[in-house]
A and B are shown apart, each in its own frame.
Chain A
Amino acid sequence: MKKVLIALVGLLTLTLAACSQTSTSATTLVTYDGSKNITVYTRDTTSGTRTGFMEGIGFAEAATSDSVLVTGFLIKDNTAILNALSIDEYGVGYVSLSSVNSTVKGLHFNGVAPTEANVINDTYGLKRPFMWMIRPAGDYPSTTVEQIVQAFIAFLATSDGGDIINNAGAIPLPSTQTWDQVKGNHAVCNQNNSGVVLRIGGSDSIQKVAEALTKAFTPKCGNFSAEHDHTGSSDAYKRTNDPAIKDTSVGKDIGFSSRFFRGAELTVAASIRGQLAWDAIVAIVHLNNPVSNVTADDLKNMYNGTYRTWNALINR
């Protein structure tokens, strides 16, 4: 009995030791070999981040098509790309600016560093829009809800709303008005709205921003409550304006999208949709990678297979 236990423990330690040895030796001893193939990581074709990235690097056809990408690319979600680029020394991927951390290297785009400051001063070019869409006039659970939604949309365009968007990691559109200047147009905010619920949904990339916005706006508008249920950019339209879905239990009063509206979504009247902010996307590589600046063309060439090895960028 004891012997067996000792043997088991011994085996376990050996395995663990072997594991830790392999993982440290490979990362510290290997020098960077630019002749290795570039591993290309991407989000899937339905991702708003992918659309933003591909349009940003001038490779718009790759936003919805996998056929134009280099063969052997990998499809992963936001977190998985971050995780993969902390392992894969020869990989390239992209994530939204707010998720970049110290385990990967964010590449400069056209010589501009991927920082919030550079997004706000509009020098960093790789970004995507944050859009909103509301229900058609008169198509709300109550007029109070409709009026609060109108007030909320007005709030998005004020500098007060802009500050909230800024704090949540995105860049608001320029604004000259404050909420105090426009709140006179929204009498609904002077009454007690504590029993009123606004249903908010759409892109999950915008959830953080949207939650910050409703949290800040609630006390300014009679303490209404907001119910956030973010499921994806396509639901911004589907759950507010698609006749088949908008009146079901998942119907929403406000929907957000992290890409420009397209197709059937554009049939919605221009007065009930608009843009509230920009979000920046960053191309990322492994920390050991010597490359630190890329152009839109570099990224396009990596994603369409013109550049197969890192030497194409290192030996320029």
Chain B
Amino acid sequence: MEELLKWKEQMRSTKKNRITDKITQHIFLGTALLSASFIFIVVGIIFVQGIRPFVTDNQGLGSVNLWSFLTGDVWLIGATFASNLYSVGFIIVSTLFIALLSLLVSFPIGVLTALFIAKVAPKPLAKILRTVIETLAAIPSIVYGLFGAGIILQVVYDVSALFGYQSKGGNSIISVVLVLALMTIPTITAISEVAIRSVDKTIEHGSLALGASNTQTNFKVVLASAKSGIFTAAILGIGRTLGEATAVSLVAGGRRAGISFDIFDTTSTLTTIMLEGLKETTGLDYDIRFSVGLVLMAVILLTNLLLNSVKKRVGSVHVR
């Protein structure tokens, strides 16, 4: 009899638990749907706004030609508010060029710093450096922009003058690359460091036991085993360089025509072209910035897909 009562009691509590589980499940589903729908709403609105210049006649200006928009090398031919000849072809190229250059600067520095913190530095120093890197990663981009406008422009201007080259007040690709590299090094370091620290100790010990030196082990075994995580760091780094607007616009110089690969020449990125004048403008000149936003999203998506496929090919733990 007593046991039966106990059993009944148990059943009741399990039932209660089940109901609570159901409720929490539904709450979680609700929040997930909410956040997911925000993404759809944002992308949807930008998409609707962004294709408007191509499908409407833009209050008499005529629709923008999609092909010449994507391939042209002058931002706007003719007068603002009176012309529909917009194009971002050259800006797409310079955006990718800048992202690549800044990754070339920040990736080796970031990964080697991470290796130093994770494997080489004595514990207390590693702790300090880790805090420093985390702090740097948390600094808002506008602060890096101000540093760029105040210090990097002057240094680039003076250095190029030393070589007899007249730079335009330091506003140049190299300044943008330096600012972006400064911004991405902490991100790359922080993520690579986690990846390096999570490398299985037995692999490392195996390498050391076979007679490899510490340096050989670090480069050939540790970095090789952590390459998947390090690649993730690079992907996030490139995401940050492609998406940064404020800091870049302070040092880019606002180029409006022509592709230039001269690192001392001025430049524009998709983000700066969206930002400059955004607050003041109307009509097509305003709507076209949403189209640039669409192009930017497409560029980021394609870059990420490409890098992810490369990452898959590179594989995770695979030591030679």
- Report which A residues bind B (CB closer than 8 A): 1, 4-5, 19, 22-23, 25-27, 30, 36-37, 39, 41, 44-48, 61, 64-67, 71-77, 80, 83-85, 87-88, 90-91, 204, 231-234, 238, 263
CA distance A61 to B82 in the complex (A): 11
Contact B78 A65 (CB under 8 A): yes
Question: Across the interface, which residues of B come within 8 angstroms of A66, CB to CB?
Answer: 75-76, 256-257
- Contact partner of B169 (CB less than 8 A), chosen from A65, A87, A204, is A87
**In this assembly, does B211 line the interface, its C-beta being within 8 Å of a C-beta of chain A?**
no
Closest 6 A/B residue pairs (Cβ): A75-B254, A88-B169, A46-B280, A46-B277, A232-B280, A65-B79
Instruction: Decide if A67 touches B78 in the complex (CB within 8 Å).
Output: yes
B40 part of interface (Cβ distance < 8 Å)? no
Closest A residue to B266 by beta carbon equals A74
CB-based contact A46/B80 at 8 Å: yes
The distance from the CB of B85 to the nearest CB of chain A, in whole angstroms, is 9
Nearest to B279 among chain A residues (CB) is A232
Not counting A27-B158, A45-B79, a sample of 10 additional A-B residue pairs whose C-beta atoms are within 8 angstroms of each other reads A5-B125, A39-B169, A46-B280, A48-B280, A67-B79, A74-B255, A84-B169, A88-B170, A90-B166, A232-B279
Verify B155–A74 contact, CB threshold 8 A: no
Q: Chain B residues near A234 (CB, 8 Å)?
A: 280-282
Q: Are A74 and B170 in contact, with the CB atoms below 8 A? A: no
- Could you list 23 A-B pairs, sorted by A, with CB under 8 Å? A4-B122, A19-B155, A25-B158, A27-B158, A39-B168, A45-B76, A45-B277, A46-B281, A47-B280, A61-B79, A64-B79, A65-B76, A65-B83, A66-B256, A67-B78, A73-B256, A77-B276, A80-B149, A87-B157, A88-B170, A90-B166, A91-B168, A232-B281
CB distance from B169 to the nearest CB of A (A): 3
In the bound complex, CA of A207 to CA of B54 (Å) = 36
> Does B237 lie at the interface of the complex (its beta carbon under 8 Å from any beta carbon of A)?
no
- Is there contact, CB below 8 Å, between A45 and B80? yes
Given the known interface contacts A64-B79, A66-B76, the answer about A88 and B280 at a Cβ–Cβ threshold of 8 Å is no
From the candidates B78, B166, B254, B280, name the one contacting A37 in the complex (CB within 8 A).
Answer: B166
How long is the Cα–Cα vector from A136 to B253 in the complex, in angstroms? Answer: 42
User: B10-30 interface mask toward A, CB cutoff 8 Å, 1 = contact, 0 = none?
Assistant: 000000000000000000000
Question: Closest residue of chain A to B258, judged by CB?
Answer: A71
Contact residues in A for B171 (Cβ distance below 8 Å): 74, 76, 84
Is B77 on the interface with A (CB-CB < 8 A)? Answer: yes
Pick the contact of A64: B74, B80, B149 (CB < 8 A).
B80
A72/B149 contact (C-beta < 8 A), A22-B155, A91-B169 known = no
Bitwise, B151-192 to A at CB < 8 A (1) or not (0) is 101110111011000101111000000000000000000000
Give bound CA distance, A83 to B122, whole Å.
43
Q: Complex formed: what's the CA distance from A109 to B48 in Å?
A: 48
* Contact B157–A44 (Cβ < 8 Å): no
CB-CB nearest in chain A for B260: A72
Q: Which of A22, A36, A204, A231 contacts B162 (CB 8 A)?
A: A22
The residue in chain B whose Cβ has the minimal distance to the Cβ of A204 is B279
Closest residue of chain A to B74 (Cβ to Cβ) is A67
Per the 8 Å Cβ criterion, residues 278-294 of B in contact with A are 279-282, 285
Asked whether A47 lies within 8 Å of B169 as measured between CB atoms, the reply is no
Q: B122 near A1 (CB under 8 angstroms)?
A: yes
* Inter-subunit contact A67/B158 (CB<8 Å): no
Question: CB within 8 A of B149: which of A19, A26, A44, A83?
Answer: A83
Q: What chain B residues lie within 8 Å of A83 (beta carbons)? A: 149-150, 153
Is B254 in contact with A4, judged by CB distance below 8 angstroms? no
Chain B residue contacts of A90, Cβ below 8 A:
166
Asked if B124 CB lies within 8 Å of chain A CBs, one says yes
CB closest residue in chain B, given A66: B256
B153 touches A84 (CB 8 A): yes
Q: What is the CB-to-nearest-CB distance from A4 to chain B, in angstroms, rounded to a whole number? A: 6
Which of B122, B170, B276: most chain A CB closer than 10 A?
A: B276
CA of A4 to CA of B55, assembled, Å: 62
Which residues of the other chain, A, contact B155 by a CB distance below 8 angstroms? 19, 22-23
Closest CB-CB distance, A173 to chain B, in whole Å? 24
Chain B nearest CB from A149 CB (Å) reads 24
B318 to chain A, nearest CB (A): 33
B99 on the A face (CB < 8 A)? no
> Are A64 and B81 in contact, CB atoms less than 8 angstroms apart?
yes
Please determine whether B168 and A72 come into contact, CB atoms closer than 8 angstroms.
Answer: yes
Chain B residues positioned under 8 Å from A233 (CB to CB): 280
Nearest neighbor of A83 in chain B, beta-carbon distance: B149
B250 within 8 Å of A (CB atoms): yes
Closest to A93 in B: B169
Task: Give residues of chain B (116-167) contacting chain A, Cβ–Cβ below 8 Å.
Answer: 121-122, 124-125, 149-151, 153-155, 157-159, 161-162, 166
Q: How far is the CB of B166 from chain A (nearest CB, A)?
A: 5
Query: A30 and B161 in contact (CB under 8 A), knowing A39-B168, A44-B254, A231-B279?
Result: yes
Which residues of A lie under 8 Å from residue B162 when comparing CB positions?
A: 22, 26
Task: Report the minimal beta-carbon distance from A192 to chain B, rounded to whole angstroms.
Answer: 36
Measured in the bound complex, the distance between the Cα atoms of B79 and A53 in whole Å is: 16
Residues of A within 8 A of B282 (CB): 234, 238
Q: Which one, A25, A37, A45, A87, contacts B170 given CB within 8 A?
A: A87
Chain B residues with CB under 8 Å of A45's CB are 76, 79-80, 277, 285
Min CB distance B256 to A, Å, is 5
* Chain A residues in 8 Å Cβ range of B168: 39, 72, 74, 88, 91
Residue in contact with B277 in the complex, picked from A47, A65, A204, CB distance below 8 Å: A47
Interface contact B158-A4, CB-CB below 8 Å:
no
Q: Is the CB of B254 within 8 A of A76?
A: yes
* Docked-complex contact B125 and A4, CB < 8 angstroms: yes
